Amino acid sequence: MTDLERRQDRAPVPSGWDYAPAPEARDIVTLEDRYGVFIGGELVDPRSGEYFPTLDPSTEEPLAEVAQAGTEDVDLAVHAARDAFENGWSGISPAERAKYLFRIARILQERSREFAVLESLNGGKPIKESRDVDLPLSAAHFFYYAGWADKLEYAFPNRRPKPVGVAGQIIPWNFPLLMLAWKVAPALAAGNTVVLKPAETTPLTALLFADVLRQAELPPGVVNIVTGDGRTGAEIVKHENVDKIAFTGSTEVGKAIQRELAGTGKKLTLELGGKAANIIFDDAALDQAVEGIVNGIYFNQGHVCCAGSRLLVQESIYEPVIEKLKKRLQTLRLGDPLDKNTDIGAINSKMQLDKITELVAAGKDEGAEIYQPPCRLPEKGYWFVPTVFTNVAQSYRIAQEEIFGPVLSVLTFRTPDEAIEKANNTPYGLSAGVWTEKGSRILSMAQKLKAGVIWANTYNRFDPSSPFGGYKESGFGREGGLHGLEPYLELDESEARGG
Ligand code: NAI
Ligand code: MG
């Protein structure tokens, strides 16, 4: 017997096909104990003197302390942005502006592993998503808008495009760096300067981005970053020297901002929540559709404004779809966000976990049937098992309210008209999915669905050239594409009509 045969003899066929741990090394990230605010090109101590800890939601361990920027800090940031706008940035040639954006994009690519690890550490999302989605898309947004910076006259012919001034940008915690990119890239391409506030639970990649700006030698004050909670956001919104507010977050805060800005003449775009229908017709390729359902609601733990959180299945295929879906859920791996095999990471915060838990309890109380695959949750950290509710009535809270977690509500329909009626029966209108073999049906559904983004035979696909945004309580204004430049420009109206 050869050595090899002998060894094989002693190594029995594995009893299971469990994945061995494959953790991404975290030592590429260097964290400070404490971070100030990024104003005028430097990280400075906050005038407020206040700090709060930011955590790793998968362990509840503190990662660092960040500033709770106050009135004076926001005021300094806005002044730095105003100064940079008036004394340089708005005056430099558009081709020069583009160079900075290209540089930022390239540096993000070069440092993408560092950013991906930090994004997963601070936000709880699986490394394979931050590595393969958040980072490439963030860099792509800067590349895309870099290309527009010196072509605004062609993009908006005869409308004399001019920058708006200082943009106040408030972003959420579900895609921290990507939302930063969606907001900062078009603002800079159009010649504005920025005061950005990341969400309180996920400030670290925005603070690392400050380092990218220094590396790119962006003139001081063009982008300022202040950390803090909603109070800091409210200070930006009401600051008289801010010309435009871009907000992504809850409908509740979006409405409050709109009320606050009424009559001030400040420009506003709002990207708020959603309760999207993902509609599966009986002629759809079922295995692909099941992958689309899973990607639609369990991607990023369901912390996605355009998540396909209401599944509408045609009655004739209800049983096979649910059976396949349950089987597929049993294969999802929940755990360490930094493990390359992880599909479902940690819930972003205790607050969000409480909200999900409460809505799931409401679903059970109201009479829906719950399915959760067998799954061991880690002892520390914030976790929620991927969940499917069947027997859901349209009136249930789980069919109406945004859960923003890995929880799917399943409804059925018989005819396309019924699918449209149910899909549109929501105060939101951000996105929808349609799965069918028929091209004509895709087109007719797309016309009748009241949603800003409609995916056909796919879900949660993003591209910087494609505008994103909603109707109704999902907000207004578009981000991405040519449309995404408009909120950051003053455009000559009369010329447009005349020309
Ligand atoms: P939120 O709307 O309170 O927070 C989003 C951002 O707005 C954060 O940066 C926050 O500090 C800031 N903010 C909060 N209050 C503000 C105010 N009065 N003025 C200015 N800025 C303010 O969202 P939250 O509380 O984190 O999540 C609550 C729910 O909102 C979630 O469960 C989810 O349903 C929804 N949501 C939707 C998002 C989306 O992408 N459309 C993103 C985050 C949350
Ligand atoms: Mg809030």
* pLDDT tens per residue across span 36-76: 999 999 999 999 999 999 999 999 999 999 999 999 999 99
Q: Would you state the pLDDT for residue 11? A: 59
272 lines ligand 1 (CB under 6 A): yes
Q: How many percent of the chain have pLDDT more than 90?
A: 94
In this predicted structure, the answer to whether residue 495 has a pLDDT above a threshold of 60 is no
Instruction: Label residue 340 exposed, middle or buried (CB < 10 Å: 0-12, 13-18, 19+).
Output: middle
234 lines ligand 1 (CB under 6 A): yes
Task: Look at ligand 1, atom 29, and give the residue with the nearest C-alpha.
Answer: 250
Pick the ligand that lies closest to the CA of residue 168.
1
Angstrom distance (rounded) from CA 390 to CA 77: 49
> Closest ligand 1 atom, CA of 229?
11
Residue 418's identity, in one-letter code, is E
Helical H segments across 85-175, by residue range: 94-110, 112-123, 127-129, 135-148, 152-155
> Closest ligand 1 atom, CA of 474?
41
Q: Would you state the pLDDT for residue 17? A: 73
Q: Would you state the pLDDT for residue 12? A: 63
**Average per-residue pLDDT for the chain:** 95
Residue from 253, 402, 407 whose mutation best tests the ligand 1 pocket (most atoms within 8 A of CB)? 253
User: 20-24, 197-201, 340-344 — which is least confidently predicted?
Assistant: 20-24
Burial 363-385 (b: 16+ CB within 10 A, else e): beebebeebebebeeeeebbbbb
In this predicted structure, the answer to whether residue 13 has a pLDDT above a threshold of 90 is no
How many whole angstroms from 1 Cα to the centroid of ligand 1? 67
Architecture of the domain defined by 26-272+477-490: 3-Layer(aba) Sandwich (3.40)
Q: Would you state the pLDDT for residue 314? A: 98
Architecture of the domain defined by 277-463: 3-Layer(aba) Sandwich (3.40)
305 lines ligand 1 (CB under 6 A): yes
Write the CB contacts of 52 (distance below 8 Å, at least 6 apart in sequence): 65, 66, 68, 200, 229
Confidence of residue 498 (pLDDT cuts 50, 70, 90): very low
Angstrom distance (rounded) from CA 26 to CA 28: 5
250 lines ligand 1 (CB under 6 A): yes
Mean pLDDT of all residues in 333-349: 97
CA 351, 354, 360, 361 torsion-angle sign: negative
Confidence of residue 18 (pLDDT cuts 50, 70, 90): confident
199 lines ligand 1 (CB under 6 A): yes
CA 48, 51, 52, 56 torsion-angle sign: positive
Give pLDDT tens digits for 401-451: 999 999 999 999 999 999 999 999 999 999 999 999 999 999 999 999 999
Spell out the domain ranges in the chain.
26-272+477-490, 277-463
Give pLDDT tens digits for 268-300: 999 999 999 999 999 999 999 999 999 999 999
**Can you tell me which residue has the tokens 């005056």?**
91
Q: Would you state the pLDDT for residue 7? A: 58
Compute, in degrees rounded to 10, the torsion defined by CA atoms 291, 295, 298, 303.
-170
Nearest to 321 by CA among 356, 362, 278, 361: 278
Q: How many CB atoms lie within 10 A of CB 4?
A: 8
How many whole angstroms from 58 Cα to the centroid of ligand 2? 21
Which contacts qualify for 90-93: CB closer than 8 Å, 24 or more apart? 90/163, 90/191, 90/192, 90/193, 93/150
In this predicted structure, the answer to whether residue 14 has a pLDDT above a threshold of 90 is no
Pick the ligand that lies closest to the CA of residue 273.
1
Rg of the chain on CA atoms, in Å:
24
How many whole angstroms from 172 Cα to the centroid of ligand 1? 6
Q: How many percent of the chain have pLDDT more than 70?
A: 96
Report whether 168 contacts 242 (CB < 8 A). Answer: yes
Residue from 250, 347, 349, 404 whose mutation best tests the ligand 1 pocket (most atoms within 8 A of CB)? 250
Report pTM: 0.95
Pick the ligand that lies closest to the CA of residue 250.
1
Q: Would you state the pLDDT for residue 499? A: 41
In this predicted structure, the answer to whether residue 9 has a pLDDT above a threshold of 60 is no
296 lines ligand 1 (CB under 6 A): no
Residues belonging to the active site: 271, 305
How many whole angstroms from 208 Cα to the centroid of ligand 2? 24
Mean pLDDT of all residues in 72-92: 95
Report whether 137 contacts 103 (CB < 8 A). Answer: no
Mean pLDDT of all residues in 189-213: 98
Task: Look at ligand 1, atom 8, and give the residue with the nearest C-alpha.
Answer: 199
